[in-house]
Structure 1
Amino acid sequence: ITLAQIWAELLGVERVGRHDHFFALGGHSLLAVQLIERLRRRSLGVEVRTLFARPVLADQAASLGSHQEVAVPANRITEQSTAITPEMLPLIELAQGEIDRIIATVPGGVGNIQDIYGLSPLQDGILFHHLLATKGDPYLLVSQMAFADRGVLDRYLAAVQRVVDRHDILRTSFVWEGLSRPAQVVWRNALLEVSEVELNGSAGPGAAQLKDRFDPRQHRIDLGRAPLLRFVIAREPGSARWLLLELQHHLIGDHTTLEVMRAEVRAELEGRAHELSAPQPFRNLMAQARLGVDAKAHEAFFRGWLADIDAPSTPFGLREVRGDGSGVREAQRMLPQQLNARLRSQARRLGVSLASLCHLAWGQVVARSSGREQVVFGTVLFGRMHGGAGGDRT
């Protein structure tokens, strides 16, 4: 009964039966994260794989309460710490010389370091692509906003700073040079970097000028300086309006992060900051990702699946086609409503998420265009489902 009530709330349906299927009713991975969190609050632990293996209500209910989460080791760095040693870092193995190298990268040294730990598997991959790119950065996310006047803009930036002060991941830098493995470092204090630029009144719309000037295909940010948020502001030519361009690195955020941030900024601006829930330590997610399954088990899994793959799945045999990125064009096309409805209906019929169906479709495209029967392509998964308590907002 408890599970049915949670399903009804999350899926927006009035009645849920014991034979109903979570994904057939419109469930998807992000709703699954929220489901896990709501069950956890009622002390009903469930393993993620169980959620997908047993999507029918009665089967899922029968498996509740059996999952034990990974115990997260305590952070041994305190505000009183005058030095950081290897035994104080349970979530990363580093020699003393490596730790000293990290400390040297943080303004304020030891006193400004809250925590040091390794990277999640997803972050490892993102950093790899950052280092692989010789120009620009494929994982720099860009968004823009406009403000009626400078006063409104300044209040907004002050609210963003207060949100950064709340969340560890927004005060995190990354260090890898001279280390045996990359590390992320949580700063106690990280001030937003805001740059003001002047726009040319005769060079077209201000928003387009900003977009061109800070195009991720040519522009990079320093990953060693927290927060990995950069703001560029400019007065719109011939107007009282101010434009803001936000650069956020995918190492510290994604679409869900932006939604949580914007909701918290709005709460700050409306004087509702006291209503916000306590921020969840990002280290909890790291512990679940790193301590839950041994790295050798991950390697064995992929070796098992990919052992007979001896060539990449390159469409039309082409590999390096991006060049400097300047010749790349994007096209967006809205699916007709009828096709959208048919896809969702098919996903429900098969008992899978629409995302899974789209992955299969993409696999077919890659197979046809590469002329290969077995194709390999990646998808980005963060591991929020394994994130422990508060994983939906970490």
Structure 2
Amino acid sequence: SFLSDRLPGYAVPPTITALDRLPLTANGKIDRSALTALVSEAAESAVQEPPEGPAETVLAKIWADLLELPAVQRTDSFFALGGDSLLATRMIARLRAEGVADARLSLLFETPVLADFAATFTVGEAAAPAPVLVPDVEHRHDPFPPTEVQRAYWLGRAEHFTLGGVGCHFYTEFDGDIDLDRLETAWNLLIERHEMLRAVFDQDGLQRILPEVPRFAVAAVDSVEQLREQMSHQVLDVSSWPLFDARAARHDGGVRLGVSFDNIIVDALSMMVFFAELDQLYHDPETVLPPIEVSFRDYVLAQEPDPVVFETAKEYWAARLPELPPAPRLPLRVDPAMVDRPRFARREFRMPAGRWRTITDLARRHELTPATVLAAAFGEVLGRWSGQEALTLNLTLFDRREVHPDIHRVLGDFTSLLLAGYRPGTGWLDGARGLQEEVWRGLEHGEVSAVWVMRELARRSDSIEMTMPVVFTSTLGVAGDGAFGPSFAEQVWGVSQTPQVWLDSQVGEVEGDLLVRWDAVEELFAPGVLDAMFAAYEGLLEWLAEGDWSVAAPVGLPAGQARVRERVNGTSGPLPEGVLHGRFFEWARREPDRVAL
């Protein structure tokens, strides 16, 4: 009670354990592992308080279902239970179906404890069941419009745009003892099963599903080097099928398989579905996969937002535009407009599962999602290298509306984008919490996408182009078994590219480890800049695992640069004869034709 009167809700601990003394390690420091165990024991032995009243009961049932828990107590926190923004969005939709019309996503962020959040809304009469998406089989092969993101990909690949001339392209290589005949059979079964694997675009940017296509063959390439040269930065013609490619090169260790997709037809989640099903069919071509009754076309044409909700969202973003921070002003070596054909390079590291689990546990204790922690750390590094206090991140979202039981098996580009400002606080936790609050308020008005916001920014600034060229993509919480490729081969290399993007930070989990990848246009930056930024990001994540998030993030001058400054600024030693400019004139007399500066 004392703390509740003086601290915000997220800072009040759910349990308090009194100790005679704090546990210490052998060298006299606080034993954080022992403290963590004590907190866990206290939480497990805490008195269980079942939900009370209709609002808490409805909410507890939805949380238990979404979070896959047997039961939820009224004192449980959404974040501590493992909730994230995707589950929160689904929760709001479920509440509305149960007759809760005034539930707000932003209030969940402010009051994450079940009893507190339930107190913010009222339960009315249950709404009529939302109509299930009805497949339009008769017009399945008629042209249909792209989503806003698909249209941006289609337009952005034009060479007259800055950093254009490329598609939104995903490329990866796998190594293993791969049976290419079995692979081809499985791949063609998926082409028959998934309509967007037969998609093309016309000259007006409309997409169409071809009723029939020729058999797809995995082409043979002479060497691994040739494979990478041909495929890593290829630009697929979206007017011609297929909008994917697969080629293979044999080498002493087996087969190197290169796979590329144009993301205009499949998003990251769709590729996970593709690789998972490819794996099943490769091992057993007779596998009967669950049917898919609806198509991506059905989904796109059914997305008609409520006019009132859409106008409210537009008003929200219109009011936010003046205070939206600028894009990161990273130190560029060349003007992006001078880059003829951008080539991306990848940097990556893996944080071991135990270390990553420490960060996720701390995040939940601070009422943050793990994705927010990683995005805020990214924003901190960007801010240091950009020399700016606040900046806007371009966030990739994977939010499929639950309009049909089969929708999560459908391949397509369901991607949406969200702009969110990152503003450092006096302590690192302040900035992270501010970012999460901004993201959740943006999600609450998600009927308007970042594409619309950027168009409006361009209109207001009388600019031909308005881009937010630094992107953060998280697959945390959406990755499945096939997230990083099939089981019959090991992923060994990859790179992605996106028009108008300078840097794309991608985070996800593989075998419990945290996997971080940066794909960036190398030509834009001086040698060493991206390496130093990436090392700083890895170092910041290591610091986050240690624990005191109340202080400022230790993102300082890279050690190598600090050593150089220390050396060149050293003043010890004998002073030279003469004055500072004397040596300059000496060189001028000796070599008058030499470039001075």
- Relative to the length of structure 1, the TM-score reads 0.68
Cα drift, residue 248 of structure 1? 0.9
1:215 partner letter: S
1:144 partner letter: E
Aligned length: 340
SS state of the match for residue 377, structure 1?
strand
| Contiguous gaps of at least 5 residues in structure 2 | 1-56, 411-597
State the partner residue of 1:355: 371
Q: 1: distance between equivalents of 2:280 and 2:143? A: 30
Q: 2: distance between equivalents of 1:50 and 1:144? A: 43
Question: Are the structure 2 counterparts of residues 332 and 51 from structure 1 closer, same or farther at C-alpha, using a change threshold of 3 Å?
Answer: same
State the partner residue of 1:252: 265
> Deviations along 1:169-211, whole A, 9 cap, x unmatched?
2222223x3x3xx3221222234543523314xxxxx3x4422
State the partner residue of 1:283: 297
Question: Are the structure 2 counterparts of residues 120 and 298 from structure 1 closer, same or farther at C-alpha, using a change threshold of 3 Å?
Answer: farther
State the partner residue of 1:105: none
| Structure 1 contact 228–248 (Cα < 8 Å) conserved | yes
State the partner residue of 2:156: 129
| Structure 1 contact 229–247 (Cα < 8 Å) conserved | yes
Higher mean alpha-carbon deviation, 140-149 vs 307-316, is at 307-316
> Deviations along 1:89-123, whole A, 9 cap, x unmatched?
xxxxxxxxxxxxxxxxxxxxxxxx71322222222
| Contiguous gaps of at least 5 residues in structure 1 | 79-112, 201-205
Cα drift, residue 220 of structure 1? 0.5
Which structure's CA Rg is the greater one?
Answer: 2
Alignment of 1:64-143 (within 5 A): 65-66=126-127, 69=130, 75=136, 77-78=138-139, 114-131=141-158, 132=161, 137=166, 139-143=168-172
> Deviations along 1:17-52, whole A, 9 cap, x unmatched?
233233321233455688799x69xx8698998567
Q: 1: distance between equivalents of 2:325 and 2:92? A: 39
Q: 2: distance between equivalents of 1:314 and 1:361? A: 17
Corresponding residue to 2:219 among 172, 196, 218: 196
| Structure 2 contact 134–294 (Cα < 8 Å) conserved | no
Corresponding residue to 1:18 among 62, 68, 74: 74
| Structure 2 contact 184–218 (Cα < 8 Å) conserved | no
SS state of the match for residue 115, structure 1?
coil
> Deviations along 1:112-155, whole A, 9 cap, x unmatched?
x7132222222233334323476763621112334646xx3222
Question: Are the structure 2 counterparts of residues 147 and 167 from structure 1 closer, same or farther at C-alpha, using a change threshold of 3 Å?
Answer: same
Q: 2: distance between equivalents of 1:48 and 1:159? A: 48
State the partner residue of 1:262: 275
| Structure 1 contact 264–273 (Cα < 8 Å) conserved | no
Cα drift, residue 159 of structure 1? 1.9
| Structure 1 contact 284–387 (Cα < 8 Å) conserved | no
SS state of the match for residue 315, structure 1?
coil
SS state of the match for residue 393, structure 2?
coil
- Relative to the length of structure 2, the TM-score reads 0.47
State the partner residue of 2:491: none
Question: Are the structure 2 counterparts of residues 210 and 67 from structure 1 closer, same or farther at C-alpha, using a change threshold of 3 Å?
Answer: farther
Corresponding residue to 1:223 among 222, 238, 245: 238
Do residues 187 (structure 1) and 202 (structure 2) align?
A: no
Question: Are the structure 2 counterparts of residues 118 and 297 from structure 1 closer, same or farther at C-alpha, using a change threshold of 3 Å?
Answer: farther
Question: Are the structure 2 counterparts of residues 30 and 311 from structure 1 closer, same or farther at C-alpha, using a change threshold of 3 Å?
Answer: closer
Question: Are the structure 2 counterparts of residues 263 and 194 from structure 1 closer, same or farther at C-alpha, using a change threshold of 3 Å?
Answer: same
Give the aligned CA root-mean-square deviation in angstroms. Answer: 4.2
| Structure 2 contact 221–247 (Cα < 8 Å) conserved | no
| Structure 2 contact 200–240 (Cα < 8 Å) conserved | yes
State the partner residue of 1:369: 385
The higher relative CO (CA closer than 8 Å, separation ≥ 6) is in 1
| Structure 2 contact 244–262 (Cα < 8 Å) conserved | yes
| Structure 1 contact 285–384 (Cα < 8 Å) conserved | no
State the partner residue of 1:213: 230
Q: 2: distance between equivalents of 1:223 and 1:48? A: 43
State the partner residue of 2:349: 333
| Structure 1 contact 70–291 (Cα < 8 Å) conserved | no
Q: 2: distance between equivalents of 1:311 and 1:31? A: 29
Higher mean alpha-carbon deviation, 379-388 vs 59-68, is at 59-68
Do residues 170 (structure 1) and 226 (structure 2) align?
A: no
Q: 1: distance between equivalents of 2:299 and 2:85? A: 17
Q: 2: distance between equivalents of 1:192 and 1:56? A: 54
Question: Are the structure 2 counterparts of residues 334 and 147 from structure 1 closer, same or farther at C-alpha, using a change threshold of 3 Å?
Answer: closer
SS state of the match for residue 392, structure 2?
coil
SS state of the match for residue 263, structure 1?
helix
State the partner residue of 1:381: 397
Cα drift, residue 366 of structure 1? 3.3
Q: 2: distance between equivalents of 1:13 and 1:25? A: 9
1:142 partner letter: Y
Q: 2: distance between equivalents of 1:50 and 1:386? A: 19
Question: Are the structure 2 counterparts of residues 156 and 195 from structure 1 closer, same or farther at C-alpha, using a change threshold of 3 Å?
Answer: closer
> Deviations along 1:325-362, whole A, 9 cap, x unmatched?
45x65332334667634532343134332212322333
Question: Are the structure 2 counterparts of residues 188 and 297 from structure 1 closer, same or farther at C-alpha, using a change threshold of 3 Å?
Answer: farther
Identity of aligned residues (%): 21
2:320 partner letter: W
Q: 1: distance between equivalents of 2:166 and 2:228? A: 15
Q: 1: distance between equivalents of 2:85 and 2:327? A: 28
